Amino acid sequence: MNNKAVQLQHYILNEQKKFPYAKGDFTLLLSDIIIGSKIISREVNKAGLVEILGLTGNENIQGEQVQKLDDYSNDTLINILSQNQSVGGVASEEMADPIYFEDHTEARYCVLFDPLDGSSNIDVNVSIGTIFSIYKLKKDGEITEMDFLRKGREQLASGYILYGSSTMLVFTTGEGVHGFTLDPSLGEFILSHENITIPENSKKIYSVNQANYRFWDENTKKMIDYFTKEAEKPFSSRYIGSLVADFHRNLLYGGIFMYPLDYKLKEKPRGKLRLMYEANPLAMIIEQAGGSATNGKENILDIKPNMIHQREPLYIGNKEYIDIAMKYLNGS
């Protein structure tokens, strides 16, 4: 157990040294995202008390009902990042198009985020989270949509904040995965999980929404049958319905999270999860933690996106389980 209470800013500054080109602006950018998460955490933790629960009555670009906290979280992150001169623009699950900060002529980064993941769970007090992804602009001081349509491999950093029994930040800058727990009495994130790696001899967890079984193709069904019926050592099934919470548990305990291609929408089979601000940031983390992530065909981080809200099937967790999944999915 880490017995020195390393505060987040100190840790980032130390990490900072590994970034030859960042002039302290990267540290400030991460700190701004953290401030946003503290504000969101405060609202999430009292959501039951103030009139912030429930639906706003409008739909987002994904055609999903928008919860008030989704809006609040989105606005919070935009307000903070729009004041950071090093950020050229942001893209969010909750907005059809990116917002470009044209006047940030010194900008060097762009940020993509799912401001509140698992929002269908807000009203029932199940863990939810914020997921973020940071890219360096292709050209300092200039930003176009192409800055957002990047392979996940190009991420500079990614992470999530989990609003659960405690508020935890987990992020990577490509130098391992580190977890910080918010001490609400200090308002500071303190290092609690240094160098997280996904355990190999895992608790054998698989996470999938089993109710979609009828909408999967034959190979997917065979793959799920392996995890549910055929594995010599039985798995246990854990599925919360908040990607960030399911992912975090599997990261610490080991296992595989799956959101397969489903044929619910006959005319257009699709994955549900979004590549740019769900799959990519978590894929960077899982690779840094010794695991892997695929859409069933290729590594998530190698997918060249053509739309910001692009959806992909997602299989993410221990390499051993990903390999098994790939074997079935590709009919071998």
> Footprint of ligand AHG on this chain (CB under 6 A)?
64, 93, 114, 117-120, 209, 241-243, 272
**Burial of 299 (C-beta count, 10 Å sphere; 0-12/13-18/19+):** middle
What's the token pair of residue 93? 């699950």
- Closest by Cα among 116, 86, 108, 112 to 99: 112
Residue placing its CB nearer to Mn ion in the complex, 32 or 93? 93
Among 15, 25, 32, 114, binds Mn ion (CB under 5 A): 114
Residue placing its CB nearer to ligand AHG in the complex, 76 or 119? 119
Contact 254, 201 (CB under 8 A): yes
Partner whose footprint covers residue 329, from ligand AHG, Mn ion, none (CB < 5 to 8 Å by kind): none
DSSP state letter for 123? G
**What's the CA gap between 98 and 25, in Å, rounded?**
21
How many residues make up the chain in this entry? 332
Query: Residue 297 Cβ, how far from ligand AHG at the closest point, in Å?
Result: 20
Residue placing its CB nearer to ligand AHG in the complex, 93 or 147? 93
- Residue 312 binds Mn ion, judged by CB under 5 A: no
Query: Residue 114 Cβ, how far from Mn ion at the closest point, in Å?
Result: 4
Query: Residue 151 Cβ, how far from Mn ion at the closest point, in Å?
Result: 20
Partner whose footprint covers residue 272, from ligand AHG, Mn ion, none (CB < 5 to 8 Å by kind): ligand AHG
Whose tokens are 């002039």? That residue is: 23
**Region binding Mn ion by CB under 5 A among candidate stretches 2-10, 36-44, 88-96, 206-214:** 88-96
Residue placing its CB nearer to Mn ion in the complex, 121 or 181? 121
Residue placing its CB nearer to Mn ion in the complex, 110 or 273? 273
- Closest by Cα among 145, 112, 109, 148 to 130: 112
**Burial of 31 (C-beta count, 10 Å sphere; 0-12/13-18/19+):** middle
Residue placing its CB nearer to ligand AHG in the complex, 27 or 212? 212
Among 117, 147, 246, 312, binds Mn ion (CB under 5 A): 117
**Measured on CA atoms in the order 200, 207, 155, 2, is the torsion positive or negative?**
negative
**Region binding Mn ion by CB under 5 A among candidate stretches 92-100, 158-166, 264-272, 298-306:** 92-100
Q: Looking only at Cα atoms, what is the longest distance across the chain?
A: 59
Residue placing its CB nearer to ligand AHG in the complex, 108 or 274? 274
Query: Residue 74 Cβ, how far from Mn ion at the closest point, in Å?
Result: 9
- Closest by Cα among 284, 225, 226, 224 to 259: 224
Which residues here bind Mn ion, judged by CB under 5 A? 93, 114, 116-117
